[in-house]
Amino acid sequence: MRNTSFYITPKLIVSTVCFLLSFGVFAQEETPKSGASAQELADKLANPVASLISVPLQNNLNYGIGPYNGTKYTINVQPVIPFKLSENLNLITRYILPVVDQRDITGENTHQFGLSDATVTAFFAPKTKGIILGVGPAFLVPTATEKVLGTEKFGVGPSVLVMHQGKGLSVGFLANQIWSVAGSEDRADFNQFYTQIFLSHSYKSGASLGITSEITQNWEAKTTMITLSPNIGAVTKLGSQAVQFAIMPLIPITGPSESKPDWGLRAVLSFIFPD
C-alpha cells in the first residue's frame, strides 16, 4: 500500500495557509515594533533588493510529471539577508535551499527524498529613485544528497534585477545565467538561464494581488520551461511576529515532456524581520 503521508502533508500545509490568508487580508495597518505599515512591508517583500531581512518558506506541489505521472513536493528555504556597504549601496544576499520529496519521477514506484542543489545570489543595489537596479554574481552549489536530485556541479554566473516601484505597485524582472565551472566529469555541464517577470499591487491592509511568470532555459538540453502564476497574499501577524502568506497556482505553459507537470500549487509563508 502506498504511503499517503506524502500527499496528506502538502494538502494540510496548503489548507492551513488558505485559512490563515482569509483573515490575513484584515491585518492591521501598523506592525509591531517597526512602525512600518502592512502595505509598506508588502511593497518591500515585492522588491527583491529591499533592505529587509525575511525568511520565506516556499512550498511547491506539482502533479502529473513525465511519463509515469509523477508527483513532486519541494520546500524552498529562502532567507534574504541585506548588508549595508555604504549610505548609498546595499548588498542583498538571497539563498535558496530546496528539500525535495518526489515519487514516480525517475521510474514507476520510485521515491527520492533529500536536499537538492542550492542557489546563492548577491545583488549590489545602489539607492536610486524611480528605477531600482541590482547586479551581482549567482552561484550554484552542489548540496544534493541524492544523485538524481542534483547536478554534482558547481556553477557561477551573473544576475541582474530591474524594476520600478511606486506605493502599492511593483513591476520588474530578475534574471541569472549560470554555467558549471567544476564538479563531476560524469555529469552533463550546467548551462541555464532563469528569469522571473513580476507585477504586484498592494493595499493598505497588507493584502496584495499579482502575477508572475518564470522562464527557465536549459541550453544544454535545448529545453524551455515557462510557468504562469497569478497570486494573492497578505501581511499579518502571528502573535508579535510579522509574516506574509501567499498562495498561487503554478500553470505550466510549456516545457519538456519528461519534466513538465500537468498542474501545480505554491504556498508561501514568509517571516519578516523589519528594522
pLDDT at residue 259 is higher than 60: yes
What per-residue confidence (pLDDT) applies to 252? 96
b/e map of 211-238 (b: 16 or more CB within 10 Å)? ebbbbbbbeeeebebebebebbbbbbbe
CA distances from 93 to 55, 71, 74, 122 (A): 12, 31, 21, 4
Average pLDDT, the chain: 89
What percent of the chain has a predicted confidence (pLDDT) above 90? 79
pLDDT per residue as tens digits for the range 92-103: 999 999 999 999
Q: For residue 10, what pLDDT band results from cuts at 50, 70 and 90?
A: low
For the segment 14-23, the average pLDDT, to the nearest whole number, is 46
pLDDT at residue 3 is higher than 50: no
CA distance 100 to 140: 17
pLDDT per residue as tens digits for the range 189-236: 999 999 999 999 999 999 999 999 999 999 999 999 999 999 999 999
Residue 49, burial from CB neighbour count under 10 angstroms (0-12, 13-18, 19+): buried
pLDDT per residue as tens digits for the range 139-158: 999 999 999 999 999 999 99
List domains and CATH numbers for the chain: 5-273 (2.40.160.40)
CA distance 82 to 100: 27
What per-residue confidence (pLDDT) applies to 30? 45
| Residue 215 near residue 226, CB atoms below 8 Å | yes
pLDDT per residue as tens digits for the range 53-89: 999 999 999 999 999 999 999 999 999 999 999 999 9
Question: Which of the residue ranges 18-27, 81-90, 120-129 would you say has the lowest mean pLDDT?
Answer: 18-27
Q: For residue 271, what pLDDT band results from cuts at 50, 70 and 90?
A: very high
What per-residue confidence (pLDDT) applies to 1? 41
Q: For residue 35, what pLDDT band results from cuts at 50, 70 and 90?
A: low
| Residue 218 near residue 192, CB atoms below 8 Å | yes
For the segment 261-275, the average pLDDT, to the nearest whole number, is 93
pLDDT at residue 2 is higher than 50: no
